[in-house]
Structure 1
Amino acid sequence: MEIEIATIGGYEEVGRQMTAVRAGDDIVIFDMGLNLSKVLIHDNIRTEGMHSLDLIDMGAIPDDRVMSDLEGDVQAIVPTHGHLDHIGAISKLAHRYDAPIVGTPFTIELVSDDAEEEQKFDLDNDLVKMEAGETMTIGDHGCELEFVNVTHSIIQAINPVLHTPEGAIVYGLDKRMDHNPVIGDPIDMDRFREIGREGVLCYIEDCTNANKKGRTPSENVAREHLRDVLYSMEDYDGAILASTFSSHIARVKSLIEFARDIGRTPILLGRSMETYSGTAKQIGVDFPSDVEMVGYRRSIEQTLERIMNEGKENFLPIVTGHQGEPRALLTRMARGETEFELEPGDKVVYSARVIPEPTNEGQRYQAEKLLAMQGARVYSDIHVSGHLCQEGHYTMLDALQPENIIPAHQDLSGLSGYVDLATDQGYTLGRDIHITSNGNVIQIN
């Protein structure tokens, strides 16, 4: 059976992930993501009203024309998790393929929400929910799709594995090794080792932190850091604001709990905060059921006015804007465009790091400077990454023992650390380490 891998998006940058694997006549697509920085650099862009061709020209979504080079039928579209760099282009591209979209329940709900906002295309593909640990048959030639549970900075993330007669294709984006997560089950290393013993033909790996030594800490490390920071503010009688990734349900849950511990009422403010946390509640995730969520601009302004009237010292707003996004609530607060008044000494907790990309770094820098101009005191980087550092990569290579490796999710400089560590493990660049770019097709056997 011929095995081909089309590296469509995410092989020259962080973002717009998309990979297709052809096993004989059957094709599985992994991820259809958005490169958000290509959108944020423009003012007042609304992607839901844009055509896919315009977004491709902008470099915002994958250019999937290479799919015409693969001889076969797409059997499934498989998003690994609910981050926009993995699902943000599904509403623009998936209608081109007569195939179901298969993901975990949380991911599928987010895909459905995104499809409802879409204005140019109808998403008529079947939406199929599959839990980690489950499998489904792909085509009629002995292929099977399996979901292996992993831990990441969003709940219900998986690494999909396409089992073929020639060996397994493991799509390894995105994960960290968390053996004691705040929400959900630990990473299933036992299953990865079993798959390694069965035989891995190719491993496609996320190299976000491949240049960083050591291992990525557990989410519980960030939780305890956050607890320490917020408890230190217990006696402060001014404003405390917090911002994190809206999709980071475990972190949002910790913020809610610690806000209440220090005698403040948490309120989630921002459209994406309402979307992700509301979806988590909807599917029965262990998440506080009584927290107030406000998503629309007018309602947010009314809520901020109420907070000012009832006393800032009684509340802890958890808001969007950790990357300094121009239209996000925290950035508008920093510019003085809301009813919420910041005063000298007020606390702003960033429970997120800046995504390492120039647009995000510049916007976050500007937002922090604006906050400081109002006298706010900023607490940065109360966070742990959702991606493997070098020791995690060594562990995965030892577990899987893949015949071939395709590094992904970075530019060339970001891939260099992974090439070095894979070389340490006996792999050779150009022989079984395949550095590629967007739009290429690699024949594996």
Structure 2
Amino acid sequence: MEIEIATIGGYEEVGRQMTAVRAGDDIVVFDMGLNLSNVLIHDDIRTEQMHSLDLIDMGAIPDDRIMNDLEGDVQAIVPTHGHLDHIGAISKLAHRYDAPIVAAPFTLDLVKEEIQDEGKFQVQNDLIEMDAGETMPIGDRCELEFVNVTHSIINAINPVLHTPEGAIVYGLDKRIDHTPVIGDPIDMKRFREIGREGQGVLCYIEDCTNANKKGRTPSEAVARSQLRDVMRSLEDYDGGIVATTFSSHIARVTSLVEFAEEIGRQPVLLGRSMEKYSGTAERIGAATFPNDLGMYGHRKSVDRAFKRIMNEGKENFLPVVTGHQGEPRAMLTRMGRGETPYELDDGDKVIFSARVIPEPTNEGQRYQSERLLGMQGARIYDDVHVSGHLSQEGHYTMLDALQPQHVVPAHQSMKGFSGYVDLAAKQGYNLDRDLHVTSNGNVIQLV
């Protein structure tokens, strides 16, 4: 059986992930993502109303025209998790393919919201919910399997396409976490089984976000402990405390809510994406929040919440807001510019339970946000966080578990691939033989 891999997006940058695997006449597409940086760099861009070709031209979504070179039919579109760099282009591209969208429950709910918000295209693909540990047939000779992984969002999976020539493991995005705050630990047992059963692993496509970082990525339990320590150290502070984190990081949001109550403050979730992700997680039963927890997304309701906080006393509340990357329209950025009813005073605390995504646009926006907050007297607690991606020791562990015949680094620029190339070389892989460093728009023929 011929096996080809089309590296469509995410092989020259962090974002707009899209990969297609052809096994004989059957094709599976993994991820259809957005490059947020190429959107945020423009003022007042509303992608919902834009045509896919315009978004392709500005580098915001994958250029999927290479799919015309693959001789087969798409049988499934499979997003690995609900981050926008993996699902943000589904509403623009999925309608081109007569194939269902297959995803874990939380991811599928977020995909539904993306489709509902779409203003340009009608996406009518069937939506199929599949849990980790389940399988579905792909054509007559292949099978799709979901393996549970841990990441900075709930319900993340690594899909595996089982073919007669061996398994194709699509390894974006994960860390090896044996003590997650929400959900099950990563299923390393299943990865080891896949590496040793049948024909083994023909190819492993790997997320290289932290491949230049030594050591291992800590568990979310470590971030939770750090966050509790910071929050308890502020227990006696009688001024304003504001926290920000990834809206999609439900485990972190639940920790912030819990610790706010521990120190006698009422948590309030503010911002459109904060309301969206937490509301979705609660609705499908993936997370539990207090009955009286306020979640406000629309501008007017957010400003009413801020006015209530100011009237009843900042010392009684913990606003958990959007804006950890300094996004221009996010709540924290507006607070820094003095555009909300919430007034920052000298000594007020701002907790960034997130790191800066290492990309120039984000770094510049985050720097500006912190400067604006500092000019109003705020004190910054930075990087109370652990990454959702493997560091070097995690990559060694995965290569040892899977023992793939071929490896394809993904989810980075050429510079970002360098650490992974070095560590894969130490494991016996050679460039252009079984280690395939590629770019967007290429096809790798494995069999």
TM-score tier, shorter chain, comes to: over 0.9
- Per-residue CA deviation, residues 292-327 of structure 1 (Å, 9 max, x unaligned), is 100100110111011101111110000000000000
Which structure 2 residue ranges, 5 or more long, are not aligned?
A: none
Q: CA RMSD in A?
A: 0.5
- 2:95 is aligned to 95
Contact 2:250 2:287 in 1 (8 A): no
Which structure 1 residue ranges, 5 or more long, are not aligned?
A: none
Counterparts of 1:100 and 1:21, CA distance in 2: 16
- 1:204 is aligned to 205
- Per-residue CA deviation, residues 113-134 of structure 1 (Å, 9 max, x unaligned), is 1111110011100111000000
Counterparts of 2:152 and 2:7, CA distance in 1: 24
Q: Which amino acid aligns with 1:201?
A: L
TM-score for the superposition, normalised by structure 2:
0.99
Q: Which amino acid aligns with 2:433?
A: R
Counterparts of 2:252 and 2:424, CA distance in 1: 32
Question: In structure 2, the residue corresponding to 1:281 is in which secondary structure?
Answer: helix
- 1:129 is aligned to 129
Q: Which amino acid aligns with 2:264?
A: G
State the shift of 1:287 in Å: 2.1
Q: Which amino acid aligns with 1:146?
A: E
Pairing partner for 1:353 from 329, 352, 355: 355
Question: In structure 2, the residue corresponding to 1:122 is in which secondary structure?
Answer: coil
- 1:28 is aligned to 28
Counterparts of 2:422 and 2:204, CA distance in 1: 16
Q: Which amino acid aligns with 2:310?
A: M
Pairing partner for 1:416 from 415, 418, 422: 418
Q: Which amino acid aligns with 2:283?
A: Q
Q: Which amino acid aligns with 2:385?
A: H
Contact 1:281 1:289 in 2 (8 A): no
Counterparts of 1:285 and 1:388, CA distance in 2: 24
- Per-residue CA deviation, residues 210-253 of structure 1 (Å, 9 max, x unaligned), is 00000000000000000000101111111000000000000000
Q: Which amino acid aligns with 2:94?
A: A
State the shift of 1:190 in Å: 0.3
- 1:390 is aligned to 392
Contact 2:52 2:92 in 1 (8 A): yes
State the shift of 1:286 in Å: 3.1
Question: In structure 1, the residue corresponding to 2:206 is in which secondary structure?
Answer: strand
Question: In structure 2, the residue corresponding to 1:169 is in which secondary structure?
Answer: strand
Counterparts of 2:287 and 2:372, CA distance in 1: 36
- 1:114 is aligned to 114
State the shift of 1:109 in Å: 0.1
Counterparts of 2:98 and 2:186, CA distance in 1: 32
- Per-residue CA deviation, residues 311-367 of structure 1 (Å, 9 max, x unaligned), is 111100000000000000000000000101000000000000000000000000000
- 2:37 is aligned to 37
- 2:233 is aligned to 232
Question: In structure 1, the residue corresponding to 2:253 is in which secondary structure?
Answer: helix
Q: Which amino acid aligns with 1:80?
A: T
Counterparts of 2:167 and 2:177, CA distance in 1: 24
Q: Does residue 145 of structure 1 match 2:163?
A: no
Counterparts of 2:65 and 2:429, CA distance in 1: 31
Counterparts of 2:278 and 2:113, CA distance in 1: 13
> For residues 364-443 of structure 1, what are the structure 2 equivalents within 5 Å?
364-443=366-445
Q: Which amino acid aligns with 2:286?
A: V
Counterparts of 1:58 and 1:64, CA distance in 2: 14
Counterparts of 2:287 and 2:179, CA distance in 1: 15
Q: Which amino acid aligns with 2:323?
A: G
> For residues 4-403 of structure 1, what are the structure 2 equivalents within 5 Å?
4-140=4-140, 142-198=141-197, 199-290=200-291, 291-403=293-405
Contact 2:153 2:248 in 1 (8 A): yes
State the shift of 1:371 in Å: 0.4
Counterparts of 1:388 and 1:84, CA distance in 2: 19
Counterparts of 2:373 and 2:273, CA distance in 1: 22
Counterparts of 1:272 and 1:286, CA distance in 2: 16
Q: Which amino acid aligns with 2:372?
A: L
TM-score for the superposition, normalised by structure 1:
0.99
State the shift of 1:266 in Å: 0.2
Q: Which moved more, 1:426-435 or 1:289-298?
A: 289-298
Q: Which amino acid aligns with 2:87?
A: I
Q: After the TM superposition, list the runs of 4 or more consecutive aligned residues in structure 1 that deviate by more than 3 angstroms.
A: none
Counterparts of 2:215 and 2:17, CA distance in 1: 26
Q: Which amino acid aligns with 1:155?
A: I
Counterparts of 1:330 and 1:288, CA distance in 2: 22
Counterparts of 2:244 and 2:424, CA distance in 1: 36
Counterparts of 2:216 and 2:145, CA distance in 1: 26
Contact 1:308 1:340 in 2 (8 A): yes
- Per-residue CA deviation, residues 362-416 of structure 1 (Å, 9 max, x unaligned), is 0000000000000000000000000000000000000000000000000011100
